[in-house]
Amino acid sequence: MARPSLSRRRVLAGIGGLAAGAAGTTGAAGCAAPQAVGAGKTRLRYWHLFGGGDGINMQVMLDAFRAQHPRIAVEAATFQWGAPYYTKLGMAGAGGRAPEVAVLHLARLAGFAPGRLLDPFDLDLLARHGVRPADFPEGIWRRGGAGGEQYAIPLDTHPMVLFYNTELCAKAGLLGPGTTLRPIEGAEQFTAALRAVKQVTGQPALVTETLGSDCIGPWRLFSTLYSQLGGAVLSPDAKSIALDDSKALTALEYMRMIVEEGLAVRRVDYVGAVGVFNNAKTGFYLNGEWEISSFLTTGLPFSMTRVPNLFGRPTAQADCHAFVLPHQDGRGGKTNEAAHAFVAWMLKNTVEWAKGGHVPAYLPTLKDPEYLALTPQSAYRSVVEDVALDEPAWFAGSASVMWIELGAVFSGVLTGSRTPRNALTEAKARLRTLLETPNPFGAAV
């Protein structure tokens, strides 16, 4: 297949991301109307992109914060997921007229000009509100830093997980006590589990997104399997390609095998994949944990677990929502104090946030009895230590141009239009183009 040209318009679209899906929100256009700030109150403007199921959870948290902090006037604005949000946030930071606090995907931090578009957090101030670096997984916390400063405080991680139909898996003999899937270790055991479910249903046992406009599911599946092999896509400084041919081909050949053997649905878009699993057509579904809301409302007999360790490491592709401080001229004083108090409070109250499927990054929450009682949300919590984030490149991260470009390439492996070797060659070509392309987001602001 010929490689399409990587125009500036296409790159800018990738910077903003997709309209929905990759971070578990559908996005709502526009923003909330500003609230009047009463005398003696501190104004706190908060921008985010949670317009779907997790937007409901965020609203519950905001209402609780306001009730407990009557002297802080929170003005929350919800922007359309993707380009409208990131473009507006970047422009606001560049002009020094930004909100006091905002949400950013952690893997996109490198392309958001820390120190220019973002201000660093005051870690001493956060500590006075009871939040410290040791309260987070080391790897996730480290990704929020740049130049010796901390520019992002992780709120959660949203990894690829394995949904499973408990009734079909029970018939296939795959469940242990209750509705818990028996441990699966290695590609052979996972393949055997898929075959067992197919014997029950007579249909493919697994569904995941394989095609569609701006399809990123194939990239996320490849990233999960490739990371389990210990592979890296880019060098640590994100300036050169680090794809390991042998490891990449192992992952791609496994992806091809499961569709060719009829163990996975070959051609299905994002919405279609949700419907296939929701209609009990397959025993397994691979996607981000945010789709939990799609199945809780329909009464489907399902549960969730970590993606099995197929190739030696228990990692899963993921990104993280994080709090950032968009650049303000003269940031400080009561508004900055309020921003730090807000972030700390939100982290300490992430049980509500976890109801939408995301795994809290604040480690004390993972031990909270109220969180542990959430089923099946708490079942895959240990993945927080094993997430595989993109290397820190401007073109990487949730719904980025890299995801779109490589998603299109690896889609061909699942649908049958590309061989694994052809896909690997094409992936390298597109990565080289991205590496040679100046950061258009920076140029735009």
Pick the residue with more confidence: 25 or 227?
227
Please state the rounded mean pLDDT for residues 24-43. Answer: 53
Answer yes or no: is pLDDT of 66 > 50.
yes
pLDDT, residue 22, reads: 35
pLDDT, residue 266, reads: 98
pLDDT, residue 366, reads: 97
Answer yes or no: is pLDDT of 23 > 90.
no
Query: With bands split at pLDDT 50, 70 and 90, how would you rate the model's confidence at 222?
Result: very high
- Which residue type occupies 238? A
Query: Could you tell me how far CA 430 lies from the centroid of its own chain?
Result: 22
pTM of the entire structure? 0.89
Query: With bands split at pLDDT 50, 70 and 90, how would you rate the model's confidence at 19?
Result: very low
Equal CATH topology for 8-158+320-365 and 159-318+392-444 = yes
User: Considering only 16-30, 119-133, 172-186, 292-306, which range has the smallest mean pLDDT?
Assistant: 16-30
CB of 381 closer than 8 Å to CB of 359: yes
Superfamily of domain 8-158+320-365, CATH level 4? Periplasmic binding protein-like II (3.40.190.10)
- Residues 401 and 15: their CA atoms lie apart, in Å, by 6
pLDDT, residue 10, reads: 41
Report which of 241, 263, 298 is spatially closest to residue 434, judged by C-alpha positions. Answer: 241
pLDDT, residue 442, reads: 56
- Residues 27 and 221: their CA atoms lie apart, in Å, by 24
Answer yes or no: is pLDDT of 26 > 70.
no
Pick the residue with more confidence: 276 or 439?
276
pLDDT, residue 339, reads: 98
pLDDT in tens, 337-361: 999 999 999 999 999 999 999 999 9
Bond before 376 cis per omega within 30 degrees: yes
Mean per-residue pLDDT over the chain, rounded: 89
pLDDT, residue 15, reads: 42
Please state the rounded mean pLDDT for residues 33-52. Answer: 77
Ranges of each domain in the chain: 8-158+320-365, 159-318+392-444
Query: Which distant-in-sequence residues (6+ apart) come within 8 Å of 40 by Cβ?
Result: 71
User: What is the DSSP secondary-structure string of 224-284?
Assistant: HHHHHTT--SB-TTSSSB---HHHHHHHHHHHHHHHHTTSB-SS--HHHHHHHHHTT--SE
146 forms beta bridges with: 149
CB of 155 closer than 8 Å to CB of 321: yes
Answer yes or no: is pLDDT of 373 > 80.
yes
User: Considering only 17-26, 173-182, 255-264, 307-316, which range has the smallest mean pLDDT?
Assistant: 17-26
Please state the rounded mean pLDDT for residues 53-73. Answer: 94
> Which CATH number applies to 159-318+392-444?
3.40.190.10
pLDDT, residue 440, reads: 64
Report which of 266, 270, 269 is spatially closest to residue 204, judged by C-alpha positions. Answer: 266
pLDDT, residue 2, reads: 35
pLDDT in tens, 112-160: 877 788 999 999 999 999 999 999 999 999 999 999 999 999 999 999 9
Answer yes or no: is pLDDT of 188 > 60.
yes
- Residues 323 and 155: their CA atoms lie apart, in Å, by 7
pLDDT, residue 110, reads: 87
pLDDT, residue 20, reads: 34
Query: With bands split at pLDDT 50, 70 and 90, how would you rate the model's confidence at 4?
Result: very low
pLDDT in tens, 275-321: 999 999 999 999 999 999 889 989 999 999 999 999 999 999 999 99
